[in-house]
Chains A and B, each alone.
Chain A
Amino acid sequence: ETGVTQTPRHLVMGMTNKKSLKCEQHLGHNAMYWYKQSAKKPLELMFVYNFKEQTENNSVPSRFSPECPNSSHLFLHLHTLQPEDSALYLCASSQAPGARKTQYFGPGTRLLVL
């Protein structure tokens, strides 16, 4: 595996379900990110992790719970989601958080909440 991988690629869940998204980066980076991409809207930053520590939470509802056990893995735990949470969820990584550090993205998980 190379770059940034995400699983599953597609997910359909009911509003009462609990599911998790997984991201793994093979680039030796120290920072990882979760973004949300909704139709006709710009990418929205959700969370930032640096060396496993959360450094930014962009006012994300508590039904989204991130976890970063090490610098290579990032999870997004989902529970009691709403239909408006349906979107493409993208994971990214960079050498470290900060200016001029390029973020590299995974392929995303397409989430549909029924």
Chain B
Amino acid sequence: EDQVTQSPEALRLQEGESSSLNCSYTVSGLRGLFWYRQDPGKGPEFLFTLYSAGEEKEKERLKATLTKKESFLHITAPKPEDSATYLCAVQAGETSGSRLTFGEGTQLTVNP
């Protein structure tokens, strides 16, 4: 069974204090790892897809990286507007089709 574990569960940062969120996964045949951002009362907003170990993607202050066991979401010099819950999801296996397995998320708070 595919498993996704995100850590920490919650993270508080001061504005400008860089840090990383972790997504560890155990799957049979990774086909894609997805990062989403979710604001309170809203649906998840797509950020990145990573397909193979060693791949990296960047968007503004966010950078996602992927290894064979985990993914990191690096946040450089965060701002209060980066406060949200960050979700990681994996798609795996030859017969999984479109099924995404989500982690529980990391709730990020950036204080001014």
Contacts and interface: CB of A to CB of B under 8 A. Distances in A.
Contacts of B36: 105
B97 interface: yes
A101 interface: yes
A42 interface: yes
Nearest to B34: A102
A55 interface: yes
A101 B43 CA distance: 18
B41 A110 contact: yes
B46 to A, nearest CB: 6
A42 B104 contact: yes
B31 interface: yes
A56 interface: yes
B51 A100 contact: yes
Interface footprint category on A: 20 to 34
Given A33-B98, A56-B97, A100-B51, A105 B4 contact: no
A97 B45 contact: no
A90 B45 CA distance: 12
B91 A99 contact: yes
Contact of B46 (A31, A97, A104): A104
A96 B13 CA distance: 38
Contact of A90 (B4, B43, B91, B105): B43
Nearest to A48: B98
B59 interface: no
Nearest to B96: A99
A11 to B, nearest CB: 14
5 contacts: A43-B44, A43-B100, A102-B34, A105-B44, A106-B43
